Each structure stands twice: as structure tokens, then as C-alpha cells.
């Protein structure tokens, strides 16, 4: 079971700038929604994240927030690696389908285990005229 902590760290992603991380006491409340709520369920303006100490003391407001998450959550992503290699890369679904499915291993991996950018072996495989297909709309099985 996970260890109980007195603090929680959130990563906040914005629509207009890079992400930030903030650590707050675990007892504080976080809310997400329209910064200027309107009647009948509509909203005006950007979405924001509010941080509250208790129920009535607002400690921070962040505007233009697109998403946020508790960093203690284990997020898993679809990943691929070339057979015989150790590094996993994000599977964007653009190349390794059909005939090429045998060239790579696929799996669900923690976000922290998956590299960003283009796999270094991709150009090598394409230079060696390894055939590849455009993506198709079909289910891919991950282990």
C-alpha cells in the first residue's frame, strides 16, 4: 500500500504556456472549472484551477488550465520498442501496424519509462527499406 504523505504535488498544464508543479498540504482542496461561471450551466472565459485552504480561504487561482494531475498517480501509455532493444517510446500509431507489427514489441508502460521523440532505430529501419504501412483503423492489442 502507498505511503501516506502530508503533501500532494500537482502538475498543471496550461493552454498558453508550459506546465508547472505545485506542492500543497494534502488537506487542501483543489477545484477545476470555469473561472466565471454563468447561469444555466454555461461558462464565460477560461477554465481555471482553484486551490483552497479549508472551505473559505482561497490560496491560489490559475487561469487557462487545460488539465492537472496528482503526480503520485501512475499514468501508463501505449509504448513500443524494437525487439532486442531496451528503450520504450510512445506509440503514436503512425507506423507500426500490419506487416510491421512483428518488428516491434508493444506494451503499456509507466509514463516515466517511455522516451520522447523519434526512436533512434526508426531511420535505420526505413533506410533498409523495411516496408511499413499507413495507420489503419483497427484495434491493437497491448500486454
C-alpha cell of residue 136: 489503419
- Write down the pTM of the prediction: 0.63
The predicted-structure confidence for 27-41, as pLDDT tens digits, reads as follows 999 999 888 877 666
Which strands, in side-by-side order, build the sheet including 114-115? 104-110, 76-82, 88-90, 114-115
pLDDT, residue 4, reads 62
- In the chain, where are the structural domains located? 7-70, 76-127
Amino acid at each position: 500500500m502507498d505511503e501516506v504523505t502530508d503533501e500532494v504535488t500537482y502538475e498543471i498544464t496550461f493552454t498558453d504556456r508550459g506546465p508547472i508543479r505545485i506542492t500543497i498540504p494534502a488537506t487542501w482542496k483543489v477545484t477545476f472549472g470555469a473561472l466565471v461561471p454563468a447561469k444555466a450551466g454555461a461558462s464565460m472565459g477560461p477554465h481555471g484551477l482553484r486551490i483552497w485552504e479549508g472551505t473559505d480561504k482561497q490560496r491560489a487561482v490559475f487561469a487557462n488550465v487545460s488539465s492537472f494531475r496528482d503526480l503520485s498517480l501512475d499514468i501508463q501509455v501505449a509504448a513500443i520498442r524494437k525487439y532486442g532493444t531496451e528503450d520504450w517510446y510512445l506509440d503514436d500509431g503512425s507506423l507500426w501496424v500490419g506487416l510491421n507489427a512483428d518488428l516491434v514489441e508493444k506494451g503499456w508502460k509507466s509514463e516515466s519509462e517511455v522516451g520522447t521523440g523519434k526512436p533512434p532505430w526508426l531511420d535505420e529501419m526505413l533506410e533498409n527499406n523495411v516496408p511499413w504501412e499507413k495507420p489503419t483503423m483497427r484495434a491493437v492489442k497491448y500486454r
